[in-house]
Chains A and B, each alone.
Chain A
Amino acid sequence: AQRVTQPEKLLSVFKGAPVELKCNYSYSGSPELFWYVQYSRQRLQLLLRHISRESIKGFTADLNKGETSFHLKKPFAQEEDSAMYYCALSGYNAGNMLTFGGGTRLMVKP
Chain B
Amino acid sequence: EAGVTQFPSHSVIEKGQTVTLRCDPISGHDNLYWYRRVMGKEIKFLLHFVKESKQDESGMPNNRFLAERTGGTYSTLKVQPAELEDSGVYFCASSQVFAGEGETQYFGPGTRLLVL
Contact = CB atoms under 8 A, between A and B. Distances in A.
A45 B107 contact: yes
Nearest to A88: B43
A95 B103 contact: yes
B107 A97 contact: no
Q: Is the interface of A mostly helix, strand, loop or mixed?
A: loop
28 contacts: A4-B42, A43-B4, A43-B108, A43-B109, A44-B91, A45-B106, A46-B104, A46-B105, A46-B106, A51-B102, A52-B102, A86-B43, A90-B103, A95-B31, A95-B48, A95-B97, A95-B103, A96-B103, A97-B45, A97-B48, A97-B59, A98-B45, A98-B105, A99-B45, A100-B35, A100-B43, A102-B42, A103-B42
Interface of B: 3-4, 31, 33, 35, 41-45, 48, 50, 55-56, 59, 91, 93, 95, 97, 102-110
Interface residues of A, number: 22
Given A51-B102, A97-B33, 4 more contacts: A44-B110, A52-B102, A98-B35, A100-B44
Nearest to B105: A98
A102 B42 CA distance: 5
A49 interface: yes
B69 to A, nearest CB: 14
Contacts of A43: 3-4, 107-110
B102 A32 contact: yes
A97 B56 contact: yes
Which of B95, B106, B107, B108 is the most central at the interface, judged by chain A CB atoms within 10 Å of its CB?
Answer: B107
B97 A49 contact: no
A29 to B, nearest CB: 15
Nearest to B41: A102
A99 B55 CA distance: 16
Nearest to B37: A100
Contacts of B35: 98, 100
Contacts of B93: 98
